[in-house]
Amino acid sequence: MNGHAHPITLAIARISQIFSSMGFDTVDGPELEDEWHNFDALNVPGDHPARDMQDTFWIQGAKGQNKHGEDVGYVLRTHTSNMQIRTMEQYVREGRALPLAICCPGKVFRNEATDATHEAQFHQIEMLYVGKDASLSMMIGMIEKFFSEFFGSNLVVRLRSSYFPFVEPGNEVDMQCFKCKGTGLIATGDNVATPDQPLVGLGCNVCKQTGWIEIGGAGMVHPKVLEAGGINPREYRGFAFGCGIDRMVMLKYGVDDVRLLYNGDLRVVNQF
């Protein structure tokens, strides 16, 4: 009898496959990260209120220096966005030609009380594209393609204006509900919608009857972030997107408690 891969592994493998087919490399990077790569280089300086937007695990007594010779502390990375900087740095170091197109799945950490939908450790997927032709429309196209492939259904996404220091414009991303196809309703029996009669059915439990699912954050890479990575924002633009892998798995399969993914329980794993 074959064993079962962890659902997060399955999701990551599928995510990499989707991105690979679109020409995006998968990269990995450190979970224990310096403050510069996790915050400063992402346009979140030390005294900025945006640092409060994420609850951070700081490492006791760990000190190092960034590439400018300044003292930095260490954290458990609060997002996979650290890999935006590390990958840009690598491209510049190795003299690789742009466009840069990567995805980065990985474990991240937040210092917040745990419950069914919050874990102190979870997984994120980051997408980054840097080229001369990057635009918000291209970002939407990539995100739609990604979710459509992952959830196996043609989905549209919508942007809401928001703020993350490392992107400008910055957006929250909502995905059309893959279960009710954006209607907010699940048909019961052989009930189908007609031009004269709207769909009658049960409220969709996945999107709480809104037809939309809040799924991630995205935007055009802030020029300061490109600079921190060593890329001249006068010549290049970028877009980035990030969302929780755990959340994607929980949505797709109806897993009701994120903690079940990390307690090593085969009753969960073996269902996949």
Of 34, 81, 170, 215, the one binding other proteins by CB under 8 A:
170
107 DSSP β-pair partners? 123
Binders of other proteins among residues 187 to 216 (CB under 8 A) are: none
C-beta closer to other proteins: residue 52 or 196: 52
CA dihedral (67, 72, 77, 78) positive or negative: negative
Minimum CB–partner distance for residue 114 and other proteins (Å): 7
What are the CA-CA distances from residue 229 to residues 89, 100, 121, 138 (Å)?
Answer: 5, 12, 26, 21
Q: Which is nearer to other proteins, 152 or 203 (CB)?
A: 152
Residues in region 226-265 near other proteins by CB under 8 A: 227, 230, 232, 234-235, 237, 252-256, 260-265
Which residue's CB is nearer to other proteins, number 83 or number 185?
A: 83
User: CA torsion 157→162→165→166, rounded to 10°?
Assistant: 10
Residue closer to other proteins by CB (options 128, 195) is 128
93 sits near other proteins (criterion: CB under 8 A): no
Which of residues 169 and 201 has its CB atom nearest to other proteins in the complex? 169
Answer yes or no: are the C-beta atoms of 261 and 118 closer than 8 Å. Answer: no
Least separation in angstroms between residue 267's CB and other proteins is 4
CB 238 within 8 Å of CB 128: yes
Instruction: Tell me, residue by residue from 55 to 84, as one string, x for binding to other proteins by CB under 8 A and - for no binding.
Output: --xxxxxx----xx-------x--------
Q: How far apart are alpha carbons 102 and 239 in whole angstroms?
A: 11
Binds other proteins (CB under 8 A): choice among 65, 71, 96, 111: 111
Looking at the Cβ atoms of 100 and 185, the one nearer to other proteins is 100
Q: Name residues whose C-beta falls within 8 Å of residue 83's C-beta, 6 or more positions apart in sequence.
A: 27, 28, 29, 102, 104, 106, 126, 128
Helix (H) or strand (E) holding 26: strand 25-26
Residues 182 and 204: beta-carbon distance below 8 Å = no
39 near other proteins, judged by CB under 8 A? no
Closer to other proteins by Cβ: residue 20 or 117 = 20
Fill in the DSSP letter of residue 40: G
Binder of other proteins out of 89, 98, 136, 201 (CB under 8 A) = 136
Residue from 89, 163, 201, 209 touching other proteins (CB under 8 A): that is 163
116 binds other proteins (CB under 8 A): no
Residue 223 as a binder of other proteins (CB under 8 A): the answer is yes
Among 53, 116, 193, 200, binds other proteins (CB under 8 A): 53
136-151 vs 7-21: helix axis angle to the nearest 10? 130
Chain centroid to CA 240: how far? 9
